[in-house]
Amino acid sequence: MSSIEIDTVSMHYTLPNGGSVHALDNVALDIRQGELVSILGPSGCGKTTLLNIVAGFLAPSGGAVRVDGQRVTGPGPDRGMVFQQGALFEWLSVERNVSFGPDMAGKKKSQTAARVAELLKVVGLTGFESKPVYQLSGGMQQRVALARCLANDPGVILMDEPLGALDALTREKMQGLVLRLWKETGKTIMLITHSVEEALLLGERLIIMAPRPGRIVKEYRLDFAEQALKQDPRKVKATQEFVRTREEVLSMIWSMEEAIMGHDAVTETASA
Amino acid sequence: MPEPEKPSRLAVWLGIADNSFTRQKTVKFGDASAVNSGRLYSILIVVILFAAWIIASAAGVVKPFYWPPIGAAIDRLQILMTDGFRNVSLWNHIGISVYRVLSGVFYGAVIGIPLGFAMGLSSLARGLFDPIVEFMRPIPPLALIPLIILWFGIGEFAKIFLLFLASLFIMTLAARSGVSNVRVSKVHAAYSLGASRLQILRHVILPNALPEIFTGLRTAMGVCWGTVVAAELVAADQGVGSMIMIAKNFLQTDTVVIGIVIIGIIGYSIELVMRWLERVLVPWRGKV
C-alpha cells in the first residue's frame, strides 16, 4: 500500500502544434495510504494532466510527484491504471487480459490461474474467462480493466474517468463495485471524473480544480463512501446532505464553466 | 386496415418483392439496406448473354477471329485441360502465375513489415526511408519492367523481384500505419502493467497492427495478381498472362478468352481466401 505526494507540481503543457497551455499551477496534494480521493473539475482544468504526471506519462515543468517517497520518473507497475475505455487488448481473451501483468513479469500460467479466477469472481465475470473482450458490453469491459489492474497488485490505482463511457444504469452498478474493491483491497485510489455524483459518492476526499491555470480551489471531506458501503448507494444519493453538497459543487462547477465560455466569447470577438 | 397481401416466397427469393425486413420500411429510396437484391435480373442477364452467344455462334454472325463460337471455346477448354498449351499443362500455367504472386508478396511482407514497424517507431528509420517510400509509392510497378529487364533479364528472378517491389511499399505503408494507429492508452496500460519495451512491441504493437497488415496483404495480393499477368504479357513462356499473349500471336481467340476468364476467377478466389483468413486470424478487426 502506498501514499502519493504531489509536491507543488506545475505544468506548461506544449501542444503538438507548438502552442502552450498553463495546465497546472503549483498543485499540492497529499494522498494517504488507502485513501480514495476523487478529483473533479470542468474540462480543461488539468485533472487528466495531473493524473498522467502521477502515472509517469508526463514530466512536470516544476515540482515533483513521490509515491512512497520515491520520485516518479516514468510509468511502473506500482501504479495501476484504469482508463475510460479502449485500453483492453482485444486480441486477448478476458483471462489473458487479466493475467497480462503477471505474464509480462514472467510468471507461469499455473502460478497465476487461481488469482485470475478469484479476481474474475470478484468483478462478476466467472464463466467469461475465454471470451474475447470485444464481445463484452462496455460495463463488462471495465470490469476486466479493473481486474487486470488488480492482478498486478499495485499499491496505487489511478482511474481516468473509468465509468465515463457507460450508460447511467451500468454506471451506478459499477460505482458500487469500485467502492467494494477499494474497501476490500485497501488500495490508494486517485479517481478523475466529470460526474459530480460519482465524485461525491466515491471520494473520501473530493478535490475541486479550476482551469486557466489548473489549480485546486476547494477540498471536501466526505463520508458518503462509508455510508454507501453500509447501505444502498441510491439511498445515500437521496439524503438531504448528499443533495445539498451536490448542488453546492454543481453550482461551483457551473460558474467556472460560464466564466470560461464568457472568456472564450470575449477573446473570439477581440480577435475577429 | 386490411393486411397487405404477402408476396410469394419465390418472388422474395428472386429479389423482386419486399421481404419481411424491407416491407416494414416506409422510406426506401436512399436507404441502401431497403433495396431488394433483384436476383431475377441477375439470372436473366446471365441467361441472355449465354443465349446471345449460342445464337450468334449458330448463326455465324461473329467471326471467330473476334470472339470464339461457344462450341469452339468448349473444345478448346477441353484441349487445354488435357493437353495443355504449348506442351505446358493449363494447371502449370496457372500454378506458375500463382507461385510468382505468393513469392512476391511473401518477400514483400518479410522485408516490408519490419521496415514499416521501424518507420513507425524510430525517427532514424522514418527519416531514412520516408523519401524512398513516398517516391516509389505512386509509381505503377509495370513502369519498372523495362529497368528490371535491363538489370536482371527476363528470368524467374526478375519477375519475382518485380512483384516483390510491387508488394514491398504496400506492406511497408500498411505496417507503418498499423503501428501509428495504436491507441496510446493501450501502450500506457501495458507500461503500467510492467511491460518492457520489447514486450510492448511483441504483445501490444504487433497484434494491434495485424488488422492493417492484413488489409495490406489483401491489397498486395490484388496488385501483384494484376502485375504478374501484365509482366507475363511482356516477357514469359509460362504463366496465364504469357498463355494469352502467345495465343494472340497464333490468332487463337478462344484461348485468349478462356485465359481472361481464368484470370478473373483466380483473382476473385484470392480475394475470397484472404477475406476468410482475415476472419479467422484477426476476428477482432473493426470491433473496438
User: Which CA distances in Å does A62 have to A7, A10, A12, A53, B210?
Assistant: 9, 5, 9, 11, 40
| pLDDT at B4 > cutoff 90 | no
CA distances from A218 to A39, A207, A208, B249 (A): 10, 6, 5, 88
Distance CA B264, CA B47 (A): 19
Is B79 within the bounds of a domain?
A: no
CB atoms within 10 A of CB A240: 7
Q: How far is A115 from chain B (nearest CA, A)?
A: 16
Side chain identity, residue A34: G
Q: What local confidence, expressed as pLDDT, does residue A270 receive?
A: 45
Partners of residue B195 on adjacent β-strands: none
Inform me whether the pLDDT recorded for B201 exceeds 90: yes
| pLDDT given for residue A1 in this prediction | 60
Query: Which chain A positions have a beta carbon within 8 Å of B196's beta carbon?
Result: 104
Question: The domain that contains B263 carries what CATH number?
Answer: 1.10.3720.10
- For residue B253, being part of any structural domain is answered with yes
pLDDT at A269: 47
Please state, in angstroms and rounded to a whole number, the distance separating the CA atoms of residues B90 and A167: 61
Instruction: For residue B82, tell me if it sits in a domain.
Output: no
User: Each residue of B164-191: pLDDT tens digit?
Assistant: 999 999 999 999 999 999 999 999 999 9
CB atoms within 10 A of CB B72: 16
B185 and A75 in contact (C-beta within 8 Å)?
Answer: no
Domain that holds residue A165: 4-78+154-271
Residue A175 CA to residue A201 CA, distance in Å, equals 8
| Domain contains B28 | no
Is residue B255 a contact partner of residue B243, using CB atoms and an 8 Å limit? Answer: yes
Q: Average of pLDDT values for B103-112?
A: 97
Tell whether B213 is covered by a domain: yes
Burial label, B10 (beta-carbon count in 10 A; 0-12, 13-18, 19+) = exposed
**A91 lies in a domain?**
no
Average pLDDT over residues B108-121: 96
Judge whether A112 lies within some domain. Answer: no
Chain B neighbors of A152, CB-CB under 8 A: 193-194
Residue B103 confidence (pLDDT): 96
Rounded average pLDDT over B127-156: 92
Kindly report the CA angle at B5 between B1 and B6, in degrees rounded to 5?
125
Residue of A nearest to B208 (CA): A91
Name every chain A residue with its beta carbon within 8 A of the beta carbon of B207: 89, 91
A80 neighbourhood in chain B, CB within 8 Å: 192-193
Q: Tell me, yes or no, whether B63 lies in a domain.
A: no
A121 within a domain of the structure (yes/no): no
Pull the grid cell for residue B44: 436473366
Inter-chain CB proximity A104 and B192 less than 8 Å: no
Q: What is the mean pLDDT of residues B236-248?
A: 89
Confidence band of B86 (pLDDT split at 50, 70, 90): confident
Q: Is residue A84 one of the residues assigned to a domain?
A: no
Q: Alpha-carbon distance B84 to B94, whole Å?
A: 11
Q: Which residues of chain A have pLDDT under 50?
A: 266, 268-272
* Domain that includes residue B156, residue range: 90-281
pLDDT confidence tier of residue B2, bands split at 50, 70 and 90: low
**What is this structure's pTM?**
0.85
Contact A51, A29 (CB under 8 A): no
Q: Identify whether B155 is part of a domain.
A: yes
CA nearest neighbour of A213 among A52, A54, A41: A41
Cross-chain CB nearest to B185 (options A76, A87, A90) = A87
Q: Number of folded domains in chain A?
A: 1
**Chain A residues with a Cβ under 8 Å from any Cβ in chain B:** 55, 57, 74-77, 79-81, 83-84, 86-91, 100-101, 104-105, 132, 134, 148-149, 152, 154
Give chain B's domain count: 1
Q: What is the ipTM of this complex?
A: 0.91
- Collect all residues of chain A within an 8 Å Cβ-Cβ radius of residue B183: 86-87
Question: Which positions ≥6 away from B207 have C-beta within 8 Å?
Answer: A89, A91
Determine the Cα–Cα distance for residues B141 and B164; give it in Å rounded to an integer.
10
Return residues 208-227 of B near A (CB < 8 Å): 208, 210
pLDDT value, residue A126 = 93
User: Is residue B233 pLDDT above 70, yes or no?
Assistant: yes
Nearest CA in chain A to B198: A104
Nearest CB among A57, A101, A132 relative to B194 is that of A101
Give per-residue pLDDT as tens, B27-55: 888 998 889 889 999 999 999 999 999 99
Do B186 and A132 make contact, defined as CB atoms within 8 angstroms? Answer: no
Kindly report the CATH number assigned to the domain that includes residue A186: 3.40.50.300
CB A197 within 8 A of CB A237: yes
Domain presence at residue A51: yes
Tell me, what's the pLDDT at B155? 87
Q: Could you tell me the pLDDT band of residue B127, with boundaries at 50, 70 and 90?
A: very high
Cβ of residue B24 closer than 8 Å to a chain A Cβ: no
Name the helix (H) or strand (E) containing B120.
helix B90-121
Q: Is residue A22 part of a domain?
A: yes
Chain B, 164-203: which have a CB under 8 Å from a chain A CB?
183, 185-186, 188-196, 199, 203
What is the model's pLDDT at position A265?
Answer: 53
Mean pLDDT of chain B: 91
pLDDT for A264: 58
pLDDT at B202 over 60: yes
Other Cβ atoms within 10 Å of B123 Cβ, number: 8
Residue B7 covered by a domain? no
